Structure 1
């Protein structure tokens, strides 16, 4: 007897919105952890690296929840995470972790901005907020990584190395982003290049340990790389390019155009890895021998989503930088006016004392 089993390709469950969320939440957590490290290690009130990293994290943490909400297909589904909380679900815990993380980052940024504008140290407040944001960032990284790595249906994802790999690919973008953000202060380039070099080495180590394993995830990853050599080689080429640029930048200061090229390469590595892991692996067979073809649509569930979120991020960056600059100008003008009033009042008082002295002498 001949039996025919019919199978049909499965639709893609995770949309490009998920890639955008993983990208921006990785930038936000990495920026917060970098700012926390600067706060705990230096505790200087005027630390440009801490302020720039935190401002960068704020811009990313605004965009990330919007992308996640769009990936849920129906925005009303957010309510179900709170109305029907399930402790065994990482996504349910994420519905608590993500709003808390967003609020803590915003409070940290506002407190640091107030401290800079008013020239008040606020060491205890800022240090406490830094620690809270650091722990909250770790919870976000854990939730984001584990909601993917627990899926047995996707062998490539089912690995404890995946959360660490995702974090390190985002962490390596922070040094070149800060170098671009502080392009008028090139004295920080050498230290930032050293940070990036160390991170790239750690990223390579984690990747080698993951790929060389003897589990289902490592075997699936090696099988995928053998069948898609060009796609697998693309992140490796970017990694080699970034490693070479970090070594050069460690020794000498790079021009602003080279730094821009460096940050574009770092962002491309971070984003492309997420696309390959989250989108391309969904096309691989899961329950049958059929591949699941996917073509990027041009609408809001495809290319428009990618372009729109990046455009929103650029708009938030411009608004944040200009808003901070406007506040600095307002406070500096207030200081000038108050100092002029103080000087004029002192002159008036001294003039009155002089007149009184002359009258008394006469």
Structure 2
């Protein structure tokens, strides 16, 4: 008998948890633009509260996402290389061009939606001289001119930019042929539908937590959650049934890796529980919040599995790599710091838009 030993080197992962934060935050930003634009062009009753929450989310998440991306680049100053050379064969090169356009378009769209909640010159003068937040908010308003006519055209531009970012963030991962788990055309729609699910869940939570809760808005968001969950589940089923590369690789991992078996159980149980609860016609408010948080958790966990756990499947060799989440900036501290920055931005923006316009019934 001839015995041959096979050595599989344990190679460190290249995409860190910063990447999960980037994909998650960017998904919240572009999906909230879709929700706001679809609502603006719908023929039903206009929900100012929903538009305000969408603007609130696209602005704050759209600021935090590029910061997480720069952190994941390990050497952020090397980002200028994307602009110093032309690489039409690289999705990351396209992303370097599309991302600034998206950041500008989403910020402009959010500003137009939130502008009516910023104090006017008269209201700012009536405040206490020490209320410097109102003074800054009044400056951000840029005068008292009418900006409503610009909202729909900018919404279309922002939505097209959001579609380009959704395509780019999915394709830059799918394009890596060395990783069979990533190399599937089902990945971009899975990313997009899970982002929509997370955004709708986040909006529902914000509607409850921030001042000015609206039951009508919550009912609308529950419909959005049901629709986006159905789309995500259908894409997941389509991937499992009709993909011959990525799904086959995942099935092989399920036979040999306990960590992948645990991940599969988590996904299936979460999907089943959400499906059962969302099938109920009338949900109490406590259960709506629980469903919303579970939807957000599912979308974030899906990105963790795709971006981090998929890297434990070796490009070459047998077995799986071992990954342990670090406590420092490249692990748990980085995740907490990103969410902490996002919460700080939400607090700041909520202070700036605390004034109530004549056209709005309630403010945050």
Instruction: Give TM class, smaller chain.
Output: 0.7 to 0.9
Alignment of 1:77-116 (within 5 A): 77-115=78-116
CA distance in 2, matches of 1:323, 1:42: 30
* Matching residue within 130, 153, 157 for 1:132: 157
Q: 1:293 to 1:46 in 2, by over 3 A?
A: closer
TM-score, normalised by the number of residues in structure 2: 0.83
Matched, 1:158 2:187: no
Distance of 1:176 and 1:142 partners within structure 2: 22
Aligned pair partner of 2:282 in 237, 244, 251: 251
Contact 2:33/2:106 (<8 A) preserved:
yes
1:262 Cα deviation after fit: 2.3
Among 267, 271, 289, the alignment partner of 1:239 is 271
Alignment partner, residue 75 of structure 1: 76
* SS of aligned partner of 1:298: coil
Residue 303 of structure 1 corresponds to which residue in structure 2? 332
**Equivalent in the alignment of 2:139:** none
1:353 is matched with which residue?
Answer: none
Partner residue in 2 for 1:351: none
Note if contact 1:179-1:186 (Cα within 8 Å) is conserved in structure 2.
no
Question: d(CA) in 2 for partners of 1:149 and 1:275?
Answer: 15
Q: For 1:311 and 1:70, locate their aligned partners in 2 and report how far apart those are by CA, in whole Å.
A: 15
- Structure ranking higher in helix proportion: 1
- Ranked by relative contact order (alpha carbons within 8 Å, sequence separation 6 or more), the top structure is 2
Task: List per-residue Cα deviations over 1:9-49 (Å, max 9, x = no partner).
Answer: 22211111111111111111111111111112259776221
Q: Which runs of 5+ in 2 are unaligned?
A: 121-143, 359-364
Q: Which has the larger radius of gyration?
A: 1
Number of residues paired by the alignment?
326
Alignment CA distance shift 1:214-1:65 (3 Å): closer
* Partner in structure 1 of residue 58 of structure 2: 57
State the alpha-carbon separation in 1 of the partners of residues 7 and 203 from structure 2.
54
Residue 341 (structure 2) pairs with residue 312 (structure 1): yes
Whether 1:200 aligns to 2:201 is: no
Helix, strand or coil at the partner of 1:41: coil
Contact kept, 8 Å, 1:98 with 1:140, in 2: the verdict is yes
Pick closer, same or farther for the CA change 1:241–1:4 going to 2, 3 Å.
Answer: closer
TM-score (norm 1): 0.83
Uncovered stretches (5+) of structure 1, i.e. residues with no partner: 333-362
Which of 261, 265, 269 pairs up with 1:229? 261
Alignment CA distance shift 1:220-1:5 (3 Å): closer
- Which residue of 159, 169, 185 corresponds with 1:144? 169
